[in-house]
Every structure is written in C-alpha cells, then in structure tokens.
Amino acid sequence: MNTWYIIACGRDEEVTLSVVKKTAVGAQILAQSISTDCAEVTILVRNPDGETHWAFRHGMEVDL
C-alpha cells in the first residue's frame, strides 16, 4: 500500500480531494469513480513525489 493523492484540477487551480493509503489500482479506481461525478474538472492521481500517474475526466482516462 502506498500513499496516493486524489486531486481535482480545474482551469486555474488544484485542490486535493483525498489522501489515501491504497494500492495503485485502488487509487486509480477511486479517482475514476470521483471523475464521473465531477464533470467540470480533471481528476489526477499523484504519488508522494508529485508524479501524476493517471488523469480522468467524465469517468474515462485522459492524456495530460
């Protein structure tokens, strides 16, 4: 289990929604789930080093 940051990324700012201790797949599933409810923002999954591993919008993975 690692620490993952679930972040909402809008046009001009980022807000940390959650800091979770999950497996990589668990963090990915949580972020994808959140993104289906937050249509106006991109949901990012970052590790503690600040590296973005996934980005989701409307429940689908997107490229950054």
Check whether 27 has a pLDDT greater than 90.
Answer: yes
Length of the chain: 64
What is the helix (H) or strand (E) element at residue 30, kind and residue range? helix 24-37
Q: Percent of the chain having pLDDT more than 70?
A: 100
Please report the pLDDT score of residue 1 as a whole number: 81
More confident: 45 or 10: 45
* pLDDT band, very low/low/confident/very high, at 20 (cuts 50, 70, 90): very high
**pTM recorded for the entire structure:** 0.90
Check whether 38 has a pLDDT greater than 90.
Answer: no
Please report the pLDDT score of residue 34 as a whole number: 95
The amino acid at residue 18 is S
**C-alpha neighbours within 13 Å on the C-beta side of residue 32:** 12
Cβ-contact 34, 43 below 8 angstroms: yes
Q: Coil, strand, or helix at residue 42?
A: strand
The amino acid at residue 39 is A
